[in-house]
Chains A and B, each alone.
Chain A
Amino acid sequence: MPLSHLALLARRLRSLLRRRRPPAREHPSMAELAAYEADELPREKEQEIQEHFLDCRECPEMLLDMKSFVSPGDGGGPGLPDSRVDSAWEALRSRLEDEARVRSFEVPAGVERFLLVFGPRSGELRLRYRLEILASHGGPVWAVDELGRNDAGDLVLGLAGHLLPEGEYLVRLLGINGGGAKLLEEHPIRLSYR
């Protein structure tokens, strides 16, 4: 069969798959992609990530970019052009920075309660979320179940100042599906009262 015919079939299949498959699932985290590359994931999780690659353009490109930085020139092909390397690095750095950046929040001193407005990166809508706040040493400080997104797609959480002294925390967002919870995102934050 000519290659062009095969490509035509594939395009039809892609259209068919879009109708058959559920909408795009949440992206694996950078840590999961790195673990996938390092063969550190169980087979079931590897299969899940490979299936995700069929629906998502961003994640497989991210993995290829990661591999090109770790071992440039591997894979039997010519090296990447500078412009491709630059844009890949910008995308990778942006995503790494987004996951690792410590966001600072200043709360007016004396305020008893305040709202944390959290805009999840994940595009997938889930019925319920669990948001956890951990101390920098990892101990639980606060957790709220049954959170739902508002009309703007944000999660809004009311917090009491006396339970959250100044310091650094880790905010973890988990999606609830059936009886299980899956970690979707985690972000370090720094809280101060001025």
Chain B
Amino acid sequence: MDEEHLMSTALDRMPDEMRRCFLLRFAQGFEEGEVAMLMKIPVETVREHLREVRQRLSLECL
């Protein structure tokens, strides 16, 4: 299975809110505070999602 497919699968497995936080932060380049405002959730929740994504991608992609 290639890396692209693994990443795609990892994205599909993420809860929607987590996936959106991740893509807004890193694919769109918004700051954590801006992601929180766009998603209308606390910035601490955004940080938790991003921490979780790092763990998931480490396990699933690397």
Chain A interface (Cβ within 8 Å of chain B)? 1, 6-7, 9-14, 16-17, 20, 37, 39, 47, 50-51, 53-54, 57, 60, 63-64, 67, 75-77
Residues from 17 to 44 in B contacting A, C-beta threshold 8 Å = 20, 22-28, 30-31, 33-34, 36-40, 43
User: Is A64 in contact with B38, judged by CB distance below 8 angstroms?
Assistant: yes
Count A/B pairs, Cβ under 8 Å: 75
- The smallest C-beta distance from B3 to any residue of chain A, in angstroms, reads 8
Residues of A within 8 A of B37 (CB): 63-64, 67, 75
B33 touching A76, Cβ below 8 Å: yes
- A75 touches which of B22, B33, B61 (Cβ 8 Å): B33
A54 close to B28 (CB less than 8 A): yes
Judge whether A16 and B16 touch: CB under 8 Å.
no
Give the dominant DSSP class at A's interface: helix
Q: What would 18 A/B residue contacts be, using CB atoms closer than 8 Å?
A: A1-B57, A6-B26, A6-B53, A7-B26, A12-B4, A13-B27, A16-B8, A17-B11, A17-B23, A51-B20, A53-B24, A54-B20, A60-B24, A60-B38, A64-B34, A67-B37, A75-B33, A77-B33
Number of interface residues of B (CB under 8 A): 30
A53 to B34, CA, bound (A): 12
Chain B binding surface, main DSSP class: helix
Contact A6 B57 (CB under 8 A): yes
B30 touches A60 (CB 8 A): yes
B34 nearest CB across to chain A (Å): 6
Q: Output the least CB separation between A64 and chain B (Å).
A: 6
Cβ contacts under 8 Å, B20 to chain A: 50-51, 53-54
B1 part of interface (Cβ distance < 8 Å)? no
In contact, B57 and A53 (Cβ under 8 angstroms): no
8 further A-B pairs in the complex, CB-CB below 8 A; given A1-B62, A16-B4, A63-B37: A1-B54, A10-B25, A13-B7, A16-B8, A50-B16, A53-B20, A53-B28, A60-B38
Report the bound CA distance from A67 to B30 in whole Å: 15
Return chain B residues, CB-CB under 8 Å to A17. 11, 23, 27
